Structure 1
Amino acid sequence: MAHANSFQRVVLIVLDGVGIGALPDASEYGDQDAATLPHVAAAVGGLPLNNLAKLGLGELIDLPDTISQPKCCYWGRMAEQSEGKDSVTGHWELAGVIQDKAFATFPHGFPAEIIDQFAAETGLAPLGNIAASGTDILRQLGEEHVRTGRPIVYTSSDSVFQIAAHEDVIPPEQLYGICRIAEKILLPFNVCRVIARPFSGTSADNFKRTSGRHDFPQKPSAPTLLQKMKKNGFATYGVGKINDLFAGEGLSKVLPSKNNAEGMAKTLQALAQIKYGLVMTNLVDFDMLYGHRLDYQGFASALLDFDRWLPELQQNFGDQDLLLITADHGCDPTTPGTDHTREYVPLLAWSPSLREQGSLGERSSFADVGATIAENFAIDFSTGHSFLADLV
């Protein structure tokens, strides 16, 4: 199915939140001091990511404890062209959709017109309506929710409308129905996602979120690489939260995962199944567990785990396979605040068939990744600039 001189399988791994330095416009987002990966490495006194260094990471940032040199690979860094710095925007841009308007955020809670319509259409007056962490909000309002049956509405630094409810008070399926109502209400307000947050427990001391989380995201605003590939008959596998980020659009198979370890295992599983096409993986722990929680030690540990796993992945590659590793934004755990950070992201390219190494330079858009994969599979693509010809 792939045309001559191309790769039959591409594995695109997105290290969620692993930026490598502030973008020129980072000050507009308050992120001028951000540099996620360099800062994490410095905070832990060195980060020997030897396998990533073999793919060129050490050519992009200083990794003093790393001794490996790049071999038969290409490296570069990419700037985000879209407005904003959230995961959906970053992933959409990788797949060729540029957002010229950032998703709306509500750091002081949602306006009365949204909350009033929510109460009118659901028959439920919500608690909260503040920006808060998911664990803090349960401690603050969980018991009142159980007592009154009123759902908890909250947001974060991201463009999200989150609804938390105890599974014994509002069962998950009912909660999902409420989220679908909220999704329609929020359409005119450019909110990226509605998220159902079911929880369990008996008191504020032991309330905990369950695995029943479900996202209701906006659909991509234009056809993505995934949709174009699927339409052209190629397999498109989404590992981790790829399905949520693209609202299920353009995927021929979905392999959800709860953490990085499961995401890495399912990437291998997908690779064993696919013959022609794309495996797109999101590894979420860097962002979700460590970046937002300002845990640079955990962040570093997760990077080391990924680095140790890389050779296992590479052993499953043949000469007609291409590995691309990048990120969707930064999430610097060493700077003030718990928000994502506006940063360059790494671009690492490797295949057993490559015979040289070199720089892909600074790319002006994440969409160059989508353009490269599209050219490889002879798919019409109008966004970004392919670097396929540079991979020799």
Structure 2
Amino acid sequence: MAGGDARNGLQMVEEREASGDDAPLVTNASLPPCCVKALASAPESDARCHATVVSGWFSQSHGKAGKVQYYNNPMWPGEAHSLKVEKVLYQGKSPYQEVLVFESATYGKVLVLDGIVQLTDKDECAYQEMIAHLPLCSIPSPKTVLVIGGGDGGVLREIARHKSVEVIEICEIDKLVIDVCKEFFPDLSIGFDDPRVRLHVGDAVEYLRNAPEGKYDAIIVDSSDPIGPAQELVEKPFFDMIARALRPGGVLCNQAESMWLHTHLIQDMLSICRESFKGSVRYAWTSVPTYPSGVIGFLLCSKDGLPVDFTNPINPIEKLEGATSAGREIKFYNSEMHKAAFALPTFAKRELATVSVSSKKDQSNLKEEAPKGKIGSQEALFTA
């Protein structure tokens, strides 16, 4: 959830001066097709917003050098979450993004990248625990795991609960985020202290391109929103590289946005992943109050090989030695939450059921697995 992490792709347009400010506009050409579709159905003009912190309140917007700025984030048009700020703890800028840390009135410390909340002390557990344990508890004895993004260290902290894991590689592009989180979020960055962790600071696409074929049991992608350069992280070549790097029966857990706001994107990702992985493909979700719409989703995929039943943890956290020992309590995830994460509301089943299934194998699965009735047929789309 940092640097190469989730939700940091805010597109902002500075107010143009009378003398002519040529700040770049967000154009359809810079957006993934799913966002172009969403904007076409719900167009929004640029709106005046508060600066990052005004009168003791943080809003998901941006200010610079005393100038009012505008933004229109196509990932959640018309929304800006606000939090009361007790104290600004850090402000800085890396080559990739602006970094802000503040103490909030209700959620503890908050990490913000490019004006977007990445995590808070209070609710980070709902994201970190789910994105790590949904895949790792779905396969027996994972040994080699790769994390893409995750510069705050929280995903590493959760992976470290699995004693079977021998190597934890992490590729994070922004060293500043790692350093800031080590200073202000020690309960998260403790993940970097595990001796099994191998940190690589650099571009994730290049890292995957050079990864040995079939190396990983699990890959966890804590990616940026698909805007600008990060768009390639939701395109088929990227998922093909992940599939190549996984062993047969290996699994991917990929941050997959909100079913309330991004069904176009989720549809596209489901369709691509069915082609790339050839195994099980499922969508899950969790509740995170400080994220837009209050929820975030995950795409779970297995490479063709031994079948993976994501909905029933074969490697339950409650039975892992030392995973929940004193001082290392899990706050959110458990086997019941694991199973519940795959239960989708009716509207999501209906909208995601439009995903095309091209292979004959998947078509036969739908016929064999779908019980009678409309909703049953739609649910089968999420069981490959």
Q: Which structure features the higher share of strand residues?
A: 2
TM-score by length of 2: 0.35
TM-score, L = length of structure 1:
0.34
